[in-house]
Amino acid sequence: QVQLQESGPGLVKPSETLALTCTVSGGSMSGHYWSWIRQTPGKRLEWFGNIYYSGITNYNPSLKSRVTMSVDMSKKQFSLKLTSVTAADTAVYYCARYSGYALDFWGQGTLVTVSS
């Protein structure tokens, strides 16, 4: 059973960079896409993008200028960086595996608050 676990700071200052890592266990990263999603305090879900195990990315155009995703196969991790954060970036951030059809395995989520 594939398991994912997000990690990173729970508090980020405005204008700084949010950085999260997702560690994959119980399965291989090869051959799969890996995704980041966030859920706002109002419960809206927003798709950030996918990264293929080879490093190819697809970003949401609404966030593209601020988002970078990367993958480290040796550590079985993939990462998200979001620059120039504001209070509007306060959310629960999830990592997930994209099967090619849907997000079939999810991490438990991590709350990130943007505040000075």
**Considering the rule CB under 8 A, would residue 104 count as an interface residue with another protein?**
yes
Q: What are phi and psi of 89, to 5 degrees?
A: -90, 0
Among 30, 44, 65, 116, binds another protein (CB under 8 A): 44
Query: How many residues at the interface with another protein, by CB under 8 A?
Result: 24
**Considering the rule CB under 8 A, would residue 53 count as an interface residue with another protein?**
no
Q: Which residues of 32-45 are buried (b: 16+ CB within 10 A; e: fewer)?
A: bbbbbbbeeeeeee
**Considering the rule CB under 8 A, would residue 52 count as an interface residue with another protein?**
no
Q: How far apart, in Å, are the Cα atoms of 101 and each of 94, 97, 98?
A: 18, 10, 7
**Considering the rule CB under 8 A, would residue 90 count as an interface residue with another protein?**
no
Which residues share a beta bridge with 59?
49
**Considering the rule CB under 8 A, would residue 61 count as an interface residue with another protein?**
yes
Judged by the rule CB under 8 A, the positions of this chain that interact with another protein are 43-47, 49-50, 58-62, 94, 96, 98-99, 101-104, 106-109
